[in-house]
């Protein structure tokens, strides 16, 4: 039986990956901070899907906790066949802020932990000649709208570099670039999230299904839904000066109350955004 390790596997996109991988017959290792949510997610998945679910309570912002997860990935007795680097959260801070705590934490969870876990998975899978790594980035990684976008740009670039380093080894790497996804992440942001037109929201199940299909095809970039693939195409092909101009317009709207239904507004908040 293959085993998948999913960071942030108790909620939103990570929970959708857990559900769909369990349906494929994967045993699971779920990593998150909240032990209660880990226990209930594990109980639900093992009872409905009949798979083995192990849990690791870890704060991936803490180096020692991330190293515990690395040790689990490197355990030769219990190989990990698929790593899903998914845990993350918004970064509500300006780049010019003198308080860098939010940036530090975001970098630790969404960059450093991804590097540590991705490296451990890459070398152990390479030694076995098989495996796959999925890194959940964001469509924001193609824009220049602040700290979160810059961190996710690192994830998108890192994933492609790792796929180059592992080319020909039997290990694939896929970066997932979702737009707006209906997850608990947005629950606390009520007013701003409600300004987003309904047709731009997609479900976490769509993100996971598209990503797993793209992983099966060996694709390095996965963007769920045609509408977001179109936005992604323009973001990658327009001159960067135009992207910076658009990003400037987006960022200037950040300070305003979220009342617009303009699609640009969909990229303005820091929730994923």
* Catalytic residue IDs: 148
Contact 106, 89 (CB under 8 A): yes
Provide, rounded to whole angstroms, the least separation between the CB of residue 50 and ligand NAP: 22
**Nearest to ligand NAP of 129, 145 (CB atom):** 145
Provide, rounded to whole angstroms, the least separation between the CB of residue 231 and ligand NAP: 13
DSSP conformation class of 188:
G
Q: Does the protein bind ligand NAP through residue 88 (CB under 6 A)?
A: yes
Provide, rounded to whole angstroms, the least separation between the CB of residue 133 and ligand NAP: 14
Q: Across the strands, what pairs with 173?
A: 133
What binding mask, one character per residue, do residues 58-87 give for ligand NAP by CB under 6 A, x or -? xxxx------------------------xx
Is residue 270 exposed (0-12), middle (13-18) or buried (19+ Cβ within 10 Å)?
buried
* Backbone conformation region of residue 26, classed left if phi is above 0, alpha if psi is from -120 to 50, else beta: beta
Provide, rounded to whole angstroms, the least separation between the CB of residue 15 and ligand NAP: 7
Half-sphere exposure of 89 toward its Cβ, with a 13 Å CA cutoff?
20
Q: Does the protein bind ligand NAP through residue 37 (CB under 6 A)?
A: yes
* Cα–Cα separations (whole angstroms), residue 128 to 40, 157, 170, 229: 33, 25, 9, 34
Q: Does the protein bind ligand NAP through residue 22 (CB under 6 A)?
A: no
Site for ligand NAP in 113-172 (CB under 6 A): 136, 138
Instruction: Select from 82, 93, 107, 181 the one that contacts ligand NAP (CB under 6 A).
Output: 181
Half-sphere exposure of 9 toward its Cβ, with a 13 Å CA cutoff?
33
> Within a 10 A sphere around the Cβ of 103, how many other Cβ atoms?
19
**Nearest to ligand NAP of 17, 26 (CB atom):** 17
Q: Does the protein bind ligand NAP through residue 272 (CB under 6 A)?
A: yes
Torsion over CA: 230, 150, 19, 125 (sign): positive
Chain-centre distance for alpha carbon 246: 24
Residues 6 or more apart whose Cβ sits within 8 Å of residue 176: 134, 135, 136, 137, 207, 210, 211, 214, 222, 223, 224
Q: Does the protein bind ligand NAP through residue 184 (CB under 6 A)?
A: yes
| Contact stretch for ligand NAP (CB under 6 A) within 70-78, 158-166, 176-184, 228-236 | 176-184
Site for ligand NAP in 190-229 (CB under 6 A): none
Instruction: Select from 80, 185, 268, 269 the one that contacts ligand NAP (CB under 6 A).
Output: 185
Distance CA 212, CA 222 (A): 9
Q: Does the protein bind ligand NAP through residue 27 (CB under 6 A)?
A: no
| Contact stretch for ligand NAP (CB under 6 A) within 6-14, 70-78, 115-123, 261-269 | 6-14
**Nearest to ligand NAP of 170, 264 (CB atom):** 264
- What is the binding site for ligand NAP (CB under 6 A)? 7-8, 10-14, 32-34, 37, 58-61, 86-89, 109, 136, 138, 178, 180-181, 183-185, 272
């Amino acid at each position: 039986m293959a085993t998948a390790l999913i960071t942030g596997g108790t909620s939103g996109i990570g929970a959708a990956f857990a559900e769909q991988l369990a349906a494929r017959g994967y045993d699971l290792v779920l990593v998150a901070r909240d032990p209660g949510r880990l226990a209930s997610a594990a109980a639900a998945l093992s009872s409905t899907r009949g798979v083995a679910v192990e849990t690791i309570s870890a704060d991936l912002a803490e180096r020692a906790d991330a190293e515990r997860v690395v040790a689990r990935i490197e355990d030769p007795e219990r190989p990990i066949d698929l790593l899903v680097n998914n845990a993350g959260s918004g970064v509500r801070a300006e780049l010019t802020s003198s308080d860098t705590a939010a940036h530090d934490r975001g970098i630790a969870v969404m960059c450093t932990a991804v590097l540590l876990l991705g490296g451990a998975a890459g070398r152990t899978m390479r030694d076995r000649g098989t495996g796959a790594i999925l890194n959940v980035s964001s469509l924001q990684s193609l824009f220049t709208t602040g700290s979160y976008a810059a961190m996710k740009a690192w994830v998108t670039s890192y994933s492609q570099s790792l796929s180059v380093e592992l080319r020909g080894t039997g290990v694939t790497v896929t970066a997932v670039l979702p737009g707006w996804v209906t997850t608990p992440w947005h629950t606390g942001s009520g007013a701003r999230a409600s300004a987003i037109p309904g047709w731009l929201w997609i479900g976490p199940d769509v993100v996971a299904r598209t990503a797993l299909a793209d992983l099966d095809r060996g694709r390095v970039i996965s963007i769920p839904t045609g509408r977001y693939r179109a936005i992604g195409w323009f973001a990658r092909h327009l001159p960067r000066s135009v992207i910076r101009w658009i990003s400037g317009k987006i960022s200037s709207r950040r300070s305003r109350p979220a009342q617009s239904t303009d699609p640009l507004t969909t990229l303005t908040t820091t929730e994923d955004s």
